[in-house]
């Protein structure tokens, strides 16, 4: 799969107004080439896995938790289409969404879907969902009563990750965990050595925890701490885990919502937490996004490919020029900045080569039955 690049360019001033965050408050950063600490080292995991081959095609039962968000619900649909039995777990306030999905299912799909209530902070409710599952797709969705990424979200997300991995370790049928993380757990690091050149970012890179705390990058902090917690527990308990570090999620529902409610789209609450520090990510060549369909296919490919291991950066858009940025802004703002004379194109300094090589022969339309 090739990274989609759109021609033209974006200025830093655009993201200044877009994110309401003075750039002077966040210094230049060089993405970290390799991150000390935390699990998920590609070299450490690769030796534990067999040679490349696709998993056996018999019907399996898999869990999707939390299935209430865009990614989770689309994963449920795609897994059902491919012939899997699916345990869809969601927070209690979202039950209507999955119930309506069940109504829309036809034939075997309706019989193959079971819906569970799971509180990620309640270990026993997670165990109920996992019973009989051979794999889990884990996606953290902020709880209904705490929807905003702030200084308290990291604690919630870490506790949830710990509970989920511990439950997987205690479920004998679980063979693989696909843990959804974020590119924000990769791209943020403090340049203490004063180096003038930027390092390229790949799956070996980790965001700097102290840097994220210092500049209140709460999304990055939560994702980094939660993923490191999951890797540490997976290695300690012998759980086979792979993580997917996705870029900013681009969803058709987001586009429709923006068009339907333009007046609300200039408030800071309408911006994804992912985008705090977007100007710096943009200038450093690490601002990336991923279409929902591509992220879903990547999750399923990583699950089905026995050779998958470690971490995978997942994106199919690189935002490094003005036209890209204006297009991105139009999803969140009713009046994005007008085109400028800025013709700079910042070098891409983030790679998803590992995922592209894994997905080269993936057939997203293939069904198991």
List Cα–Cα distances, 109 to 23, 98, 116, 295, in angstroms. 50, 13, 16, 22
Three-point CA angle 133, 135, 141, nearest 5°:
100
C-alpha 15, offset from chain centre: 22
Q: Rounded to whole angstroms, how far apart are CA atoms 33 and 286?
A: 13
Identify each DSSP E strand in 210-299 by its residue range. Answer: 241-246, 248-250, 288-291
Q: Active site residue: 60, 223, 228, 276, which one?
A: 223
Residue 231 phi/psi, 5-degree rounding, is -65, -40
Q: Rounded to whole angstroms, how far apart are CA atoms 129 and 345?
A: 47
Q: Rounded to whole angstroms, how far apart are CA atoms 277 and 149?
A: 14
**Is residue 223 annotated as a catalytic residue, yes or no?**
yes
Identify each DSSP E strand in 172-302 by its residue range. Answer: 176-182, 241-246, 248-250, 288-291
29: region left, alpha or beta (phi > 0 left; psi from -120 to 50 alpha): beta
Hey, what are 160's tokens? 């949830």
Q: Rounded to whole angstroms, how far apart are CA atoms 338 and 322?
A: 10
Please give the positions annotated as active site.
Answer: 223
């Amino acid at each position: 799969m090739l990274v989609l690049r759109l021609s033209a360019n974006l200025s830093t001033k655009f993201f200044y107004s877009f994110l309401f965050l003075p750039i002077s408050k966040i210094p230049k950063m060089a993405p970290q080439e390799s991150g000390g600490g935390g699990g998920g080292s590609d070299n450490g995991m690769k030796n534990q896995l067999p040679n490349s081959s696709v998993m056996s095609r018999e019907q399996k039962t898999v869990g999707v938790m939390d299935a209430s968000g865009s990614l989770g619900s689309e994963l449920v649909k795609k897994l059902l289409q491919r012939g899997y039995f699916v345990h869809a777990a969601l927070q209690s306030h979202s039950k209507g969404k999955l119930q309506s999905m069940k109504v829309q299912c036809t034939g075997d799909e309706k019989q193959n879907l079971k819906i569970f209530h799971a509180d990620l902070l309640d270990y026993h409710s997670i165990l109920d969902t996992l019973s009989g599952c051979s794999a889990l797709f884990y996606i953290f969705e902020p709880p209904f009563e705490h929807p905003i990424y702030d200084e308290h979200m990291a604690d919630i997300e870490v506790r949830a990750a710990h509970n989920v991995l511990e439950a997987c370790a205690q479920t004998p049928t679980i063979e693989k965990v696909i843990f959804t993380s974020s590119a924000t757990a990769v791209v943020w690091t403090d340049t203490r050595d004063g180096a003038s050149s930027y390092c390229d970012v790949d799956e070996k890179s980790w965001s700097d925890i102290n840097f994220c705390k210092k500049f209140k990058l709460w999304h990055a902090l939560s994702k980094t701490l939660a993923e490191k917690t999951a890797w540490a527990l997976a290695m300690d308990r012998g759980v086979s885990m792979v993580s997917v570090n996705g870029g900013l999620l681009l969803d058709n529902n987001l586009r429709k919502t923006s068009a339907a409610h333009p007046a609300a789209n200039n408030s800071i609450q309408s911006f994804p937490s992912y985008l705090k520090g977007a100007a710096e990510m943009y200038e450093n060549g690490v601002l990336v996004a991923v279409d929902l369909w591509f992220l879903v296919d990547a999750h399923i490919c990583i699950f089905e490919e026995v050779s998958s291991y470690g971490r995978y950066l997942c994106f199919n858009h690189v935002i490094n020029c003005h036209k890209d940025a204006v297009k991105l802004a139009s999803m969140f703002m009713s009046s994005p900045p007008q085109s400028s004379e800025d013709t700079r194109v910042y070098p891409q300094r983030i790679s998803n080569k590992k995922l592209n090589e894994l997905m080269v022969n993936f057939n997203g339309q293939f069904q198991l039955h």
